[in-house]
Each structure stands twice: as C-alpha cells, then as structure tokens.
C-alpha cells in the first residue's frame, strides 16, 4: 500500500491525502477523517526512505559504535541507550547505529553524516583534544556531545557531569576522615572524564599539601577484573593507600574482592568511594558493605540528550548549548575514619 493506491482508493489526489496526513490546514475536516479512517483500515504507512528523500528529514539520530573482535563492549552503553530511547519513543524518532572499527571512528562518523540517513549526530567517550570535534563542527548537521573534550575550546554543544567537582568533593570527604594516602582507579587515560577526575583528586590533595603518586593511579577499562588487579597492585606497595577513589562501581566490585582477599575490612582499613552511573544491575547500596558514591544517572543524561537533539532537529526549542550536571555525594558504609598510621594492617 502506497500513497498512490491509498488516494485512488479514496478517490482523492495524492496531494490531498498527503496533506490530510501531515496536518496541513487546507483540507476539509471530514475529508481528513475519511483519510485517517482509511489509514487505519489499510494499515498504510508512508515509506520513510521516500519521505526522507522528499523532505530531507529522517526522524533519526545517528551514533557510531566502535566494535571489533577483542574490543570490549561497555556495560554503560545499554543503560545510556535506554535513556535516549525513552525520550525518542515519544517523538517517533529512532536511532541509526553505525558499527565502526575503533581505528576508523572518524571515517564512520563522516559517512554516517553524509549518508542522508540521520538528522543529527551524537558522540560520546570524548577524549582530550578529540579529533571528532572539528569534523562535527565542519558538518552542517545538529550534534551533541556527551562529555567534553579536555583541551578543546568549549564552544560546542555538550552535556557533561562535573567530573572534577565530583572527585574533588569525594577526596575532600576522605581527607576530612583523616586519610592521607590516596589512590585513584580511573578509566582509560586518554578519556576526558578520566583526565578531569584525576584533576579533582589532585586539586583536593594539593590543598592539604599532599600529592598523588603515579604508583597510586591506575588506568584501565571498567571491568571487575581490572579493578581487582589494580587494587592488588595498590595493596602490595610498602605504604598502601587507605583511601580509594574509583571511577566505576564495576571496578569497585573487583577492588572490593581484592580488599577482602587481603583480609582487610572495607570502611575500616580501607575507605572507598566509587562513581555510580546508576546501573540497574549493580546497586551500590546492596554491596555487602554499601558503597559511598558520587552519583549521576547515565540514563537521565540519555533522556536529556535525546530531548535536546530532537528539539534541535524539530527546531522547536532553544536549549542551552552547554550543560554541566552536578553529581551527588552519597555517603554509605564504605568510607570511615582513617586507620591510625602506626597500625600495621599487612598487605596481601
């Protein structure tokens, strides 16, 4: 069933039917009713490709998903996408996901942009001086960045959380509890959020004249395995840290295993604060020692990003170009007063 057939069925012109469907004013209400009724009965749906070709609008948001054999998928991806979708479904928007070799993200982004398949682009996992930014800016297509790119002029539309502030505040809390030996379990070194989180910790420590030795910083992907590995490494040091900042609850999972295996008590011998993206399958409050966290819902960010992007495409909203969300610091049992310094609590 296409427009032509439908209009013949109704004894109307294609124009009239099209207008009736798209809410143009110059069509009789009774006629419109008849058309709508026929649509219901026949199950007619306009061909999107044709609509796209004629209007230049596709009703879709494009994003690039890096993938390759051996390339780790990201636990957070599904949750974020669910948030995007939650909003998109209200506007009958969909997503076009272009898988891409991690080495060719730029190329994939460009191809996606000029394919004519999408109205807007979304990018995430920003890096310092991210090369995708100039590309996006040169394209004449709406886009929105999740996160920021450290070192680039912040004149692009983004939504980010205050990573630096979050980790600054978390560090402050631990300092107040008397901790002096800190460690940071961070995400991949080149990623923007990792850079900023580290800055937050360093800034807080600096205020007390403390520093964060390189041996007390780990960078890795967000898996429980890496968390365990990093924590074991920290604990093997001659003077192990007592305060741990952790970029993800998934990392924390492994870290806590290492703490337990070393015979240490979380919240007593070791304090830990993790960043919580509010993943539904891993709640920090349910950890055997409930986790103190800096919290910001990834899903909520997804909703908001879809909102802004769709709004821009539909031209119906003046959204702020830049948004920086504060995180919440939720204190639970994994943080406690620093153990007395002279106390020996033997590593591994």
- 180 interacts with, out of its own copies, DNA, none, CB within 5 to 8 A per kind: none
C-alpha closest to that of 309 among 118, 95, 122: 122
CB of 123 to its own copies, least distance (A): 16
C-alpha closest to that of 255 among 284, 229, 278, 283: 229
Closer CB to its own copies, 7 or 152, in the complex: 7
Radius of gyration of the chain from Cα atoms?
26
Both structure tokens of 313: 């495409």
User: Any contact of residue 12 with DNA (CB under 7 A)?
Assistant: yes
Binding-residue pattern over the window 117 to 146 for its own copies, x denoting contact by CB under 8 A: x-----------------------------
- 110 burial level (CB within 10 Å; 0-12, 13-18, 19+): middle
CB of 269 to its own copies, least distance (A): 17
CA distance 177 to 337: 5
> Taking CB under 7 A as the criterion, which residues in 115-174 touch DNA?
116
- 318 burial level (CB within 10 Å; 0-12, 13-18, 19+): exposed
Binding-residue pattern over the window 44 to 63 for its own copies, x denoting contact by CB under 8 A: -x-xxxx-xx----x-x---
- 206 interacts with, out of DNA, its own copies, none, CB within 5 to 8 A per kind: none
Binding-residue pattern over the window 68 to 97 for its own copies, x denoting contact by CB under 8 A: xx-xxxxxxxxx-xx-xxx-xx---xxxxx
- 103 interacts with, out of its own copies, DNA, none, CB within 5 to 8 A per kind: none
CA distance 236 to 15: 76
Q: How far is CA 239 from CA 83, 145, 215, in A?
A: 43, 41, 11
Angle between helices 14-21 and 3-10 (to 10 degrees): 100
The string of DSSP letters for 48-86 reads HHHHHHHHS--SEEEEEEE--TTPPP-HHHHHHHHHHHH
- 15 interacts with, out of its own copies, DNA, none, CB within 5 to 8 A per kind: DNA
Closer CB to DNA, 13 or 215, in the complex: 13
Which positions touch DNA (CB under 7 A)? 2-4, 11-16, 18-19, 21-22, 26-29, 31, 45-47, 50-51, 53-55, 116
Which positions touch its own copies (CB under 8 A)? 43, 45, 47-50, 52-53, 58, 60, 65, 67-69, 71-79, 81-82, 84-86, 88-89, 93-101, 110-112, 114-117, 221-225, 228, 250, 253-254, 257, 260-261, 279-283, 286-288, 299
């Amino acid at each position: 069933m296409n427009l032509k057939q439908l209009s013949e069925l109704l004894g109307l012109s294609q124009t009239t039917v099209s207008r009736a469907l798209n809410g143009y004013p110059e069509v009789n209400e009774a006629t419109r009713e008849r058309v709508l009724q026929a649509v219901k009965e026949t199950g007619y749906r306009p061909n999107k490709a044709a609509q796209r070709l004629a209007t230049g609008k596709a009703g879709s948001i494009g994003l690039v998903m890096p993938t390759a054999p051996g390339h780790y998928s990201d636990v957070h991806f599904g949750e974020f996408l669910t948030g995007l979708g939650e909003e998109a479904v209200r506007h009958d928007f969909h997503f076009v996901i272009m898988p891409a070799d991690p080495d060719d993200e730029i190329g994939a982004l460009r191809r996606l942009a000029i394919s004519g398949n999408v109205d807007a682009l979304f990018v995430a996992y920003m890096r310092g001086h991210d090369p995708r930014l100039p590309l996006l800016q040169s394209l004449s297509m709406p886009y929105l960045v999740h996160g920021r790119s450290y070192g680039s002029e912040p004149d692009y539309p983004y939504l980010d959380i205050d990573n630096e502030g979050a980790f600054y505040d978390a560090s402050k809390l631990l300092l107040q509890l008397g901790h002096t030996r800190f460690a940071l379990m961070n995400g991949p070194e080149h990623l923007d959020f990792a850079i900023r989180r580290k800055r937050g910790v360093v800034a807080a420590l600096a205020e007390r004249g403390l520093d964060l030795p390189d041996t007390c910083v780990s960078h890795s992907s967000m898996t429980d395995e890496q968390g365990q590995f990093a924590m074991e490494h920290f604990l093997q040091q001659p003077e192990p840290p007592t305060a741990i900042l952790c970029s993800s609850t998934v990392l924390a999972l492994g870290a806590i295993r290492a703490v337990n295996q070393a015979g240490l008590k979380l919240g007593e011998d070791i304090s830990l604060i993790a960043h919580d993206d509010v993943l539904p399958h891993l709640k920090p409050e349910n950890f055997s020692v409930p986790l103190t966290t800096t919290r910001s819902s990834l899903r909520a960010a997804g909703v908001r990003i879809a909102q802004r992007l769709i709004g821009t495409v539909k031209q119906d909203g003046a959204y702020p170009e830049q948004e920086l969300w504060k995180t919440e610091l939720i204190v639970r049992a994994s943080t406690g007063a620093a153990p007395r310094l002279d106390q020996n609590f033997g590593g591994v």
